[in-house]
Amino acid sequence: MMTKDQYIESLRKLNLNLWMFGKKIDNPVDDPVIRPSLNSFAATYALAEDPQYEDLMTATSHLSGKKINRFTNIHQSTDDLIKKVKMQRLLGQKTAACFQRCVGMDAMNALYSSTYELDEACGTSYHQNFLKFLTRVQDEDLAVDGAMTDVKGDRGLAPSKQADPDLFLHVVERTADGVYVTGAKAHQTGYINSHEVLVMPTISMRPGDEDYAISFAVPTDSEGITLIYGRQSCDTRKLEEYNSIDVGNQTYGGHEVLVIFDRVFVPNDRIFLNGEVQFAGMIVERFAGFHRQSYGGCKVGVGDVLIGATAEAVDMAGCAKASHVKDKLIEMTHLNETLYACGIACSSQGAPTKSGAYLIDLLLANVCKQNVTRFPYDIARLAQDLAGGLMVTQPSEADYRNPATHDYIEKYLKGIASVPTEDRMRILRLIENMTMGTAAVGYLPESMHGAGSPQAQRIMISRQSNMAAKRKLARVIAHVDAE
């Protein structure tokens, strides 16, 4: 496995075509806006080096028998599924941000079982292609970005019916050696910090959409790929002279990029789906299930930090003993642990696929993510309620460091006498960051839209609820049926 330092140095070898704020970024590793997201990603390597976290952060490869980073593992049991969620909670606690490596892990697990069943049905060799890719990822401990979400254009039209055919990524040319693809993938979490991008279709496909039913892996710096960095709230605070307090979370963060593929070549042995429209839906459904499970871990870990920060804030203000304050902290904890319970539940009820790899209980995974679209917002609302307005009205750190205004801020922003004013300011800025600033991107909007917006889960819950069986139970109890 790679160490944290080896991982960071490996990123320096990438030649990404990256643009941010209208400028070309030649060194994303050391860019002050991007570096916090790299630090979060690097934590997945750092914790794997720590013996106290070895059981959660590493696994044994079923391919090689070697110890590997759990983020490159193919789940072989419900124990693997449960440890995945526990690992994600741990990383959320350590970073209070999106650590970005989950999407690639979930994409690899979805494609492992899907390509196995695809080959069985169609006589193709995609699973062998994928095994070759996976072996390299595990052996070299590579970081993989999972790319599913197309920009979609007119949501009422199928991919092949769009006015602009590039609004869904698709094959534009086929050769004896491979294919060329064009299109874009949006909301790409952690792409800049990854070595490989694993592309999947974004929706179920129908006959006529064959060119859009494509899955493959290529290096993130492949020729023809352009990256445009996503804007985040309060992002330029990282560029200010005094930003230790005002950024809220100085060390860690996340990022999203728009990834444009302009005639990118994909060799045949890196293709995992190529026109088999009937299997696009399986890949989408399994990836979505795995990623909805993930949110029962990562968002809970971040929630732990937010709850802790809120408890600190009320204590610093001298109101921790108030009954309504205690009750709101209890409610925040209740909501957070409910999310965790869903993540553990869908994992414990997982079952093997035909490939032998384990899949979570899809119904419970969708219930997990449906709760994630709501509960973090309630947790954040209660955090803001208890933190008070000073969270967003306190003066800047520059004013705090200014001799002309420092003493006023030190005097008038004081809470209880035993707590330094600066400590109180830091906690309040952390809450602001997690509920409104750069970290909020990975906590609130990502809770809503990551792994599919709320309606996507409701559709899957409807499909998997087995309503006919429930109706039969009621009819039997009520003696409506003969039996």
pLDDT of residue 149: 97
CB 333 within 8 A of CB 321: no
231 burial via Cβ count (<10 Å: 0-12, 13-18, 19+):
exposed
Which residue carries 């309630």 as its tokens?
378
* Nearest-angstrom CA–CA distance, 291 and 360: 10
Domains plus CATH for the chain?
4-282 (2.40.110.10), 285-473 (1.20.140.10)
State residue 481's pLDDT score: 76
CA distance linking residue 185 with residue 277, whole number of Å: 19
Listed residue (89, 102, 471, 39) closest to 287, CA to CA: 102
pLDDT of res. 483: 54
Closest Cα partner for 91 from 251, 255, 297, 309? 297
Single pTM value for the model: 0.97
- Active centre residues (catalytic): 98, 102, 189, 256, 291, 295, 298, 446
Which phi and psi (to 5°) does residue 433 adopt? Answer: -60, -40
> Given the structure tokens 């049926």, which residue do they identify?
481
**Ramachandran quadrant class, 458 (left: phi over 0; alpha: psi -120 to 50; beta: rest):** alpha
Per-residue pLDDT tens digits of the chain, which is 483 residues long: 999 999 999 999 999 999 999 999 999 999 999 999 999 999 999 999 999 999 999 999 999 999 999 999 999 999 999 999 999 999 999 999 999 999 999 999 999 999 999 999 999 999 999 999 999 999 999 999 999 999 999 999 999 999 999 999 999 999 999 999 999 999 999 999 999 999 999 999 999 999 999 999 999 999 999 999 999 999 999 999 999 999 999 999 999 999 999 999 999 999 999 999 999 999 999 999 999 999 999 999 999 999 999 999 999 999 999 999 999 999 999 999 999 999 999 999 999 999 999 999 999 999 999 999 999 999 999 999 999 999 999 999 999 999 999 999 999 999 999 999 999 999 999 999 999 999 988 999 999 999 999 999 999 999 999 999 999 999 999 999 755
Helix (H) or strand (E) holding 185: strand 178-189
pLDDT of residue 350: 98
The per-residue pLDDT for 422 is: 98
pLDDT at 388: 97
Residue 463, Cβ neighbours under 10 Å: how many?
13
Whether the Cβ atoms of residue 353 and residue 359 lie closer than 8 Å to each other: yes
Q: What are phi and psi of 206, to 5 degrees?
A: -125, 165
